Structure 1
Amino acid sequence: MPLTAPGRAQAGRPAGKAGARRVATVTFAAQGMSVAAVYTTVPAVTEHLRLAPLLTTALMVTVALMAGAGSFLGLAAIRVAGPVSTMRGALLTAAVALMLIGWAPGRATAVCAYVLFGIAVGALDVGINTRAAAIERVHGRSIFGSFYTAWSVGGVVAALLTAAAARLEWPVADGLTVQAGILLIVAACVRTHTLPTAGEPSEPPEPSEPSDTSVQSPLGRRMWARLLPFGLVLLVVYVVDSTVSAWSAVYLRQTLAASLTVAPMAYAAYQAGTVVGRAATDRLVQRFGAVAVVRTASLLVAGALAGMAAAPGWLFAVLAAGTVGLGASVLAPLCLAAAARLRPDASETVLARLNLFNYAGVVTGGAVSGLLGSTGEFRLAYAAPAALAVLLLAAGRHFSRPAGRERRAHEAEVGS
């Protein structure tokens, strides 16, 4: 397969890593907005449809399970249509799902809408991370943190839109329709930019670029072992993330007696903390190294979760949620970037595997927190992950793996 010369576009496609980075950044923001729109409207949807607490928990777990399935559908779509087309299709599907959630006339329609959203966000996740890994390789330095900063900004915007809609006493359908409209605009603006190449393909080929998949070596039996440290970190991160994201609004509403206007503020604070943390991630890694950043972030998360569990009122809980976001924010992008470097020629498959840990954490955190919350024990739901966060300290050393060792490990896999 002929390689595209650096700086030149294929037919009908603009060239340039700057344009590709802009598209990926906006898409990350849209994904963050869609997830926040779903999580921050849980109290309003629950009250509107009169859902039982256990059914609400089941819905949040279902979203995570469907996202796991969606990531493998996204992997298949990438192989057929490429990552950019996968991103565009997933955004359109997520927008439809948001409108269905808002306008659902009954529980059955709501369940179907949440299932559709989970599939869409899972496909979007693997598509956008595959594209981001390719863009980072072209830049030759750590930029994953900037993408996840955009994700968090989108989450903050969505949470504030939810709070504003509640303040204006809009029906939940109107607020979700506005946010779905934003996703549709982003999907319409997504374009494919041809990335420069430096001796190897920087992304899975688009449909107009058929590839000989027979020349791509298999991942090998050792890949699961090499992914395990990053997978465990990602699992714990998403236990924490789902506990705060999916249930913070309900926690403020039910346990701390906050209004529907105030309830989304913990999620907004959490995402605001992630904006700050992720904006600083790349510089912190360059200055102090990934190991020190991971270990410091782990301690910060543990302390902030304990503070959230003991919060005497909603304001304290909001501040603690922001601190959790500050610490947890750096861990996911560092995991994804490190895993993608293990096999640059098959990053989409590696990331799909890693996503299993992601969604296992979301399911575990969402289910346990929801079950504890339904029995009135939301405080324990935030105390328990604090202990798990300390376990991340042991995994920190794996983030300093030299490139030479990665190359030798890959050669050993191929030869085995």
Structure 2
Amino acid sequence: MSFNAPARAEAGHPVSRFGARKGATLAFAAQGVSVAAVYTTVPAVTEHLKLAPLLTTTLMVAVALTAGAGSFLGLAAIRRAGPVATTRGAVLTAAAALVLIGWAPDAVTVICAYVLFGLAVGALDVGVNTRAAAIERAYGRSVFGSFYTAWSVGGVVAALLTAGAARLEWPVAAGLGVQAGIVLLLAVCIRTHALPSSPEGPSDTLAQPPLGRRLWIRLIPFGLVLLVVYVVDSTVSAWSAVYLRQTLAASLTVAPLAYASYQAGTVVGRAATDRLVQRFGAVAVVRTAALLVAGALAGMAGAPSWPFAVLAAGAVGLGASVLVPLCLASAARLRPTASEAVLARLNLFNYVGVITGGAAGGLLGSTGQFRLAYAAPAALAVLLLAAARHLVGVDGVPSRTA
């Protein structure tokens, strides 16, 4: 990728690793708030607009599909304007989509709003992860986990706001309006800071070498990890509130708590990720996390009541939390000078997982089989054990380039 245009855009901005890291952290937090706001309000939006269960499932799949398209729009935007400008624009678009979802008067309008959100979050994915990879190179050690901690904190805040709005009997538009305001505030606070040169080259002025077939073969294990993780994440994120509401007879006030617990678990796990990797290594951390995810999903599937399901969701988050940042950080090191292209294409596995988990969870839920929707991914989580040995280089030792 040619960063000549971004380099000119950043001329005159201070060179600061800390400033760049702070801006990226705010962007990750904004993404966490926006995604949680969408997922935790699905029951309220469905009931407000009287949407059919199949249409609700279709909407969640549409968000994932459009996010895949948004990922490549984001890649094009990064090449033209740089990751910071791309991230800021995507965050502003996500905030607008939240407002539109809340105020949508009919099914057609809400479909358009969800599509807009999908495009925004896809572009945001590429922007924030590309910037995070550059910042990690500048630091020369694992810092990816801290960014995803901010993502999870944002998710917890948004989920609790959804629960609070339901408790106060606010209309869905009011709750989403508050969450959109938080996203907008975070976007305004994002500042541009140039990065110093890293041992692998200047962090803000990278050339784009050709990507060979051998690199894509090496990306398969990373894609497998993302695929499985996002099947799990989508099943918990998109449908936990509906699961508590429909299967475990929870109120609209209680229903978002499973998502909040899931994100709280990810906060704890991601806050410890970088230290755990430095102490035990990426392979051991990933394998332990995979076993925890499998057991916790089985607990959600067999939950006798909503409090048990809420606790199990937290355990799923604790285990799943470390997998995405470790996977992305390791994949970015395969080709540091083209990390944005690697991450954009790796995101395809992300969205295939979201679509698979979202569609399967919705279809099983619409037939009253939500418990099976959580039992099935538990078996998939075991596949992560085989892929774990490929996640090297995230403990501060760069992987060999392809």
TM range (shorter): over 0.9
Q: CA 1:405–1:190 in 2, change beyond 3 Å: closer, same or farther? A: closer
Offset, 1:11? 3.9
Letter in 2 for 1:349: A
Which residue in the other structure is 1:195 paired with?
195
Q: CA 1:233–1:11 in 2, change beyond 3 Å: closer, same or farther? A: closer
Secondary structure at the counterpart of residue 213 of structure 2: coil
Which residue in the other structure is 1:219 paired with?
211
Q: How does 1:14-413 map to 2 (within 5 A)?
A: 14-198=14-198, 201-203=201-203, 205=205, 216-400=208-392, 406-407=399-400, 410=402
Letter in 2 for 1:246: A
Tell me how far apart the structure 2 counterparts of residues 341 and 148 of structure 1 sit (CA, whole Å): 18
Tell me how far apart the structure 1 counterparts of residues 254 and 285 of structure 2 sit (CA, whole Å): 32
Contact 2:3–2:204 at 8 Å: present in 1 too?
A: no
Length, aligned pairs only:
396
Q: CA 1:384–1:377 in 2, change beyond 3 Å: closer, same or farther? A: same
Contact 1:131–1:203 at 8 Å: present in 2 too?
A: no
Offset, 1:265? 0.1
Secondary structure at the counterpart of residue 257 of structure 1: coil
Q: CA 1:57–1:334 in 2, change beyond 3 Å: closer, same or farther? A: same
Question: Which range moves more in the overlay, 394-403 or 95-104?
Answer: 394-403
Secondary structure at the counterpart of residue 113 of structure 2: helix
- Superposition CA RMSD, Å: 1.8
Letter in 2 for 1:162: T
Tell me how far apart the structure 2 counterparts of residues 301 and 406 of structure 1 sit (CA, whole Å): 27
Which residue in the other structure is 1:6 paired with?
none
Q: CA 1:110–1:377 in 2, change beyond 3 Å: closer, same or farther? A: same
Contact 2:101–2:173 at 8 Å: present in 1 too?
A: yes
Offset, 1:203? 4.3
Contact 2:75–2:340 at 8 Å: present in 1 too?
A: yes
Offset, 1:88? 0.5
Instruction: State the TM-score, normalizing by the size of structure 2.
Output: 0.95
Offset, 1:74? 0.2
Tell me how far apart the structure 2 counterparts of residues 196 and 42 of structure 1 sit (CA, whole Å): 43
Q: CA 1:186–1:202 in 2, change beyond 3 Å: closer, same or farther? A: farther
Tell me how far apart the structure 2 counterparts of residues 380 and 129 of structure 1 sit (CA, whole Å): 33
Tell me how far apart the structure 1 counterparts of residues 10 and 66 of structure 2 sit (CA, whole Å): 35
Please, which runs of 5 or more residues in structure 2 have no aligned partner? none
Contact 2:139–2:198 at 8 Å: present in 1 too?
A: no
Letter in 1 for 2:64: A
Offset, 1:329? 0.3
Offset, 1:190? 1.4
Q: CA 1:374–1:220 in 2, change beyond 3 Å: closer, same or farther? A: same
Offset, 1:171? 0.2
Letter in 1 for 2:235: T
Offset, 1:187? 1.4
Q: CA 1:346–1:287 in 2, change beyond 3 Å: closer, same or farther? A: same
Tell me how far apart the structure 1 counterparts of residues 129 and 328 of structure 2 sit (CA, whole Å): 8
Contact 2:197–2:203 at 8 Å: present in 1 too?
A: no
Letter in 2 for 1:59: L
Tell me how far apart the structure 1 counterparts of residues 64 and 310 of structure 2 sit (CA, whole Å): 24
Deviations 1:271-323 (A, max 9, x none): 00000000000000000000000000000000000000000000000000000
Offset, 1:401? 5.8
Offset, 1:182? 1.2
Contact 1:36–1:159 at 8 Å: present in 2 too?
A: yes
Contact 1:339–1:350 at 8 Å: present in 2 too?
A: yes
Letter in 2 for 1:142: S
Deviations 1:166-195 (A, max 9, x none): 001000000001111111111112111010
Question: Which range moves more in the overlay, 252-261 or 394-403?
Answer: 394-403
Tell me how far apart the structure 2 counterparts of residues 400 and 81 of structure 1 sit (CA, whole Å): 31
Contact 1:137–1:202 at 8 Å: present in 2 too?
A: no
Offset, 1:89? 0.3
Letter in 2 for 1:34: S
Contact 1:143–1:282 at 8 Å: present in 2 too?
A: yes
Offset, 1:198? 3.3
Contact 1:301–1:328 at 8 Å: present in 2 too?
A: yes
Letter in 2 for 1:78: I
Letter in 2 for 1:53: P
Q: CA 1:2–1:309 in 2, change beyond 3 Å: closer, same or farther? A: closer
Tell me how far apart the structure 2 counterparts of residues 171 and 401 of structure 1 sit (CA, whole Å): 48
Deviations 1:231-251 (A, max 9, x none): 101100000000000000000
Tell me how far apart the structure 1 counterparts of residues 68 and 177 of structure 2 sit (CA, whole Å): 25
Letter in 2 for 1:41: T
Q: CA 1:84–1:50 in 2, change beyond 3 Å: closer, same or farther? A: same
Instruction: State the TM-score, normalizing by the size of structure 1.
Output: 0.92
Offset, 1:199? 5.7
Offset, 1:400? 3.0
Q: CA 1:65–1:142 in 2, change beyond 3 Å: closer, same or farther? A: same
Q: Percent identity?
A: 79
Deviations 1:144-177 (A, max 9, x none): 0000000000000000000000001000000001
Q: CA 1:176–1:405 in 2, change beyond 3 Å: closer, same or farther? A: closer
Deviations 1:196-253 (A, max 9, x none): 0136554455xxxxx8x6xx32011111111000110110000000000000000000
